[in-house]
Amino acid sequence: MPCTVVVCGFFGDTGKGKIISYLALKDKISVAARAGVGPNAGHTVVYGSKTYKVRMIPSAFIYDRCRLLIGPGVLVDPNIFLEEVKQLNVEDRVGVDPQCAIIEPKHVEADRGGHLASEIKTTGTGTGPCNADRVLRRAKLARDIPELQRFLIDVPLEVNTAIDSGENVLIEGTQGTYLSLWHGTYPYVTSKDVTASAACSDVGVGPKKVDEVIIVFKAFVTRVGAGPLPGEITWEEAEKRGWAEVATVTGRRRRAAPFNFDLAKRAVMLNSATQAAVTKIDALFPECKGARTFSDLSAEAREFIGKIESEIKIPVTLIGTGPEVWDIVDRRLE
Ligand code: IMP
Ligand code: MG
């Protein structure tokens, strides 16, 4: 799978971090390129007894031979980036494109007031106001920032060179299809498109170079912030069902609803997905926790996966059965 794109088919928080970290280790990804909006994303990677939360560094960092790049379409908050580089000790293999726009304190401040905070209920990380400044052609770029000079690299060139040499390349989307500025539940969306095409554009890869698009769904739907969520249940009900989650970046409670086949079907279309991953199957079927082969899943769980496949018309190749990287059924191997 030389060039693979990973995106989310719902509202974000479907477990891309887990799927990406598994693929990085399993498929020995040589180059991972982070796409998406910016540090409004929060990805969780659980490896052994350690839990990592990343907002800027690609989730593929867990594979220690993987190059970690941030494409020019992604907004960089230098403080968050530099802190993660230090924490994860990835200085020698991380690169930022000189054309990444820079989030400044004034963007964060603007994001925490006015209609963005009160109506849209953004993450308050400055991404919307920074993208607005980029469109107005007055945002600073990574090439203007002294602290980032040692990380600057032509990301599209490195990614395309790796693809052309047949190396395994992973493009990491963030947020989710229905948070897209074009295809989501406007105005309750993020500040740009976040479907697979946009992810490719963020890192400078054209449409003919992509081999696989993996769309990630969770076994139930969650959403943080404002906006419609069909079939929404109460927080108390979510707690009862084991669906109660809090957001990685903001600590807010995630709103929850059952798996939505209509949204999933449309998301497959919008992303031209070739395979799907379904995470947290153990939240619906606790008996499946830790299963590693399809036949170890209960009949009910297998039926649920079959129903998804018959609706979305692409194979569900990866099934998450717990938080740890290796808690997964990989049907590509079966
Ligand atoms: P913004 O992206 O911070 O402008 O927030 C706009 C909307 O997208 C809000 O509803 C946020 O909660 C949501 N959002 C942004 N990034 C993520 C994410 O990574 N996961 C889940 N929701 C997100
Ligand atoms: Mg998240």
Which ligand 1 atom is the nearest neighbour of the CA of 227?
A: 10
Per-residue pLDDT at 20:
98
Per-residue pLDDT at 110:
98
Per-residue pLDDT at 28:
98
Which ligand 1 atom is the nearest neighbour of the CA of 37?
A: 2
Distance 189 CA to ligand 1 centre (A): 7
Query: What string of pLDDT tens digits covers the 334 residues of the chain?
Result: 699 999 999 999 999 999 999 999 999 999 999 999 999 999 999 999 999 999 999 999 999 999 999 999 999 999 999 999 999 999 999 999 999 999 999 999 999 999 999 999 999 999 999 999 999 999 999 999 999 999 999 999 999 999 999 999 999 999 999 999 999 999 999 999 999 999 999 999 999 999 999 999 999 999 999 999 999 999 999 999 999 999 988 889 999 999 999 999 999 999 999 999 999 999 999 999 999 999 999 999 999 999 999 999 999 999 999 999 999 999 999 8
Q: Which ligand lies nearest to the CA atom of residue 223 in the structure? A: 1
CA-based Rg of the chain, rounded to a whole angstrom? 19
Per-residue pLDDT at 248:
83
Per-chain residues with Cβ under 5 A from ion ligand 2: 13, 42, 248
Exposure class string for 305-327: b at 16+ Cβ within 10 A, else e = beebeeebebebbbbbbbbbbbb
What six digits make up the tokens of 21? Answer: 């970290």
Per-residue pLDDT at 1:
67
List all residues whose CB is within 6 A of at least one atom of ligand 1.
Answer: 11-13, 37, 40-42, 120-123, 125, 127-128, 174-175, 179, 188, 190-191, 224-225
Distance 224 CA to ligand 1 centre (A): 7
For atom 2 of ligand 1, the residue with the nearest CA is 190
Omega before residue 187 within 30° of 0, cis: yes
Q: Which ligand lies nearest to the CA atom of residue 179 in the structure? A: 1
Range of the domain at 21: 3-333
Distance 250 CA to ligand 1 centre (A): 10
Per-residue pLDDT at 39:
98
In three state form, how does the secondary structure of 102-159 look? ECCHHHHHHHCCHHHHHHHCCCCCCHHHHHHHHHCCCCCEHHHCHHHHHHECCHHHHH
Total number of domains constituting the chain:
1
- Cα dist. 293→52, 90, 288, 320, 334 in Å? 26, 33, 10, 11, 8
For atom 21 of ligand 1, the residue with the nearest CA is 12
Q: CATH no. for residue 236?
A: 3.40.440.10
Judge whether 107 counts as a catalytic residue: no
Per-residue pLDDT at 250:
87
Closest Cα to residue 54, out of 45, 46, 63? 45
Q: Which ligand lies nearest to the CA atom of residue 227 in the structure? A: 1
Best residue for ligand 1 mutational test, from 108, 190, 250, 255 (most atoms within 8 Å of Cβ): 190
Distance 227 CA to ligand 1 centre (A): 11
Q: How far is 1 from 30, CA to CA, in rounded Å?
A: 12
Alpha-carbon torsion 218, 116, 83, 195, what sign?
A: positive
Distance 298 CA to ligand 2 centre (A): 28
